[in-house]
Structure 1
Amino acid sequence: MTVLVTGAAGFIGSHTSRALLDRGRSVLGIDNLNSYYDPALKRARLTALEGVPGFRFRQLDIGDPEAVAALFREHPEIEQVLHLAAQAGVRYSLSHPFTYVDSNVTGHLAILEAAQRLPALTHLVYASSSSVYGANTKQPFSETDRVDSPVSVYAATKRAGELLSETYARLFELPLTGLRFFTVYGPWGRPDMAYWGFTEKILGGQPIELFNGGDMRRDFTYIDDVVAGVLAALERPPAAAEPGSVPHRLYNLGNSRPESLRRFLEVLEQHCGRPATIIEKPMQPGEVKETYADITAAERDLGFRPSTPIDEGLGRFVAWFKEWRGL
């Protein structure tokens, strides 16, 4: 079976590609290798994949609909699509909004349009985000909550992707599953995330900017737990249960145990073996105070049961980071 993985050089994409290859799948990976963060990290992830039998890679920007359509025409054997490519980052979206529309709206639409023409396609799973919950104050966040109050351009584009997916599932009976990821972390992670920046500055003896006095809570979810959820979703395409229903499902993939940013920092300090120097900063535009996933549906339908506590997960990340930086 051939699985197309978009964003294969990304954090979640590279981990999931490896898990698929370990299961004997053939993986066709695409990525534009942009410079939002250091492309050398993306290339290193690809290098680790390229030695595994069954992996092929094509550098391609999903924001180019013609290139996407051509790729799909060249590979009619694709049976599953794991669409993880996106422009990430809440704060960056405030200063570069068009980049997010190009990737997360136009790019998402290009994938949907090409996918609905694939003769062998059985399921398309795509990445959404906990950011779609926006200004919601009800906790924990549930897939049945209204999500029409985004607080960042990033969140708005990810919600747009969900709506486009609902439309394509309805129009073409295309089996689609969207996964709302909650603050994924771990080895080979993203340099724009807090856990990476905190670790880098603690080990380098530099001060850390702590927003809102650390009075923020995040549902930190370890990468191995997320990969297990992604693979489970990929193998369970939704079906139209009755006439008029739509084969489109949304699931939260989170740890369902939100931790305070202060506690998160304390664990990092322990694993780094030194204290952090802190500079207090106010809450930043586009950020939310707390994320907390209700994973009842994912547990029921996908058997999703995250099991990695932050003490263990952050320990693995810090160990990897030291090796990566030669510390």
Structure 2
Amino acid sequence: MPYEHKRKPEWLKTKINVNHNYRELKKMMRGKTLHTVCEEAKCPNIHECWAVHRTATFMILGDICTRACRFCAVKTGLPTELDWQEPERVAEAVEQMKLKHTVVTSVARDDLADGGAAIFAATIRAIRERNPFTSVEVLIPDFQGNWEALKTVMDERPDILNHNLETVRSRSDRVRSKAKYERTLELLRRAKEMQPDIPTKSSIMIGVGETWEEILETMEDLRGVNCNIMTIGQYLQPTKKHLNIDKYYTPKEFVKLRKEGFARGFDHVESGPLVRSSYHAHEQVKSAQQSTAAGQ
């Protein structure tokens, strides 16, 4: 399909804030040779998160992904070798930033037998050794259905296990590369089975050709595997080469979806045009932990 420009609505325009916090975080990330999904995926909230909230989502296992999803701005190709010192550098950065909650994600590493699970586990351990009072959320790939790899991560007991569904069932094969809708649901189900008290989380982006009914069906699917937290945001096209935007949803529609999510039993629903998987993650962990404790 040829590129079709859709004018961005006013509610999607963000303010650029390059203050001391922003510059300091950028300098620290470069100094420690660390990557963030904030930069690599061109997140629209980077200036708010870095400059105002002083939060960032660390991206481990390099900055080159083995997959080429049509919505994602992260570089694709042949990854570099594993950096086993990376977990310690992430932990040092968390300590310097004085984070109370940190999010760790990665590129997909289909070239590795465990998909990078061992590095995820090492990063959780390193963060906790240096920052015992910091909660740790991991946003993991699907490890190609390697459930032993998933167990490696779950055995470290992250405070939140996050794995994104990304889109509705009918759009999954078109939007994602190699990932499967049912495999994502199975991963979330197995994560709960392995550690029932750890909140699980998933995210979708809308505006890629789905219907309203399909969004609600996706909520039902996630609740069917006892997913606790859901985030919903507007898809924004990173470049002309990426998937076209089918529709811009209004802020009122996102408010309706938030209500629909709570009505279906999610502990926390973050829904808005600029919402991304890790947006306000520090607030989400509190809601999920309180709900989990109340249910025990």
Q: Where on the TM-score scale, by shorter chain, does this alignment land: which range?
A: 0.3 to 0.5
Which one has a bigger Cα radius of gyration? 1
Structure scoring higher RCO (CA < 8 A, sep ≥ 6) equals 1
Q: TM-score, normalised by structure 1?
A: 0.39
Pick the structure with more strand per residue: 1
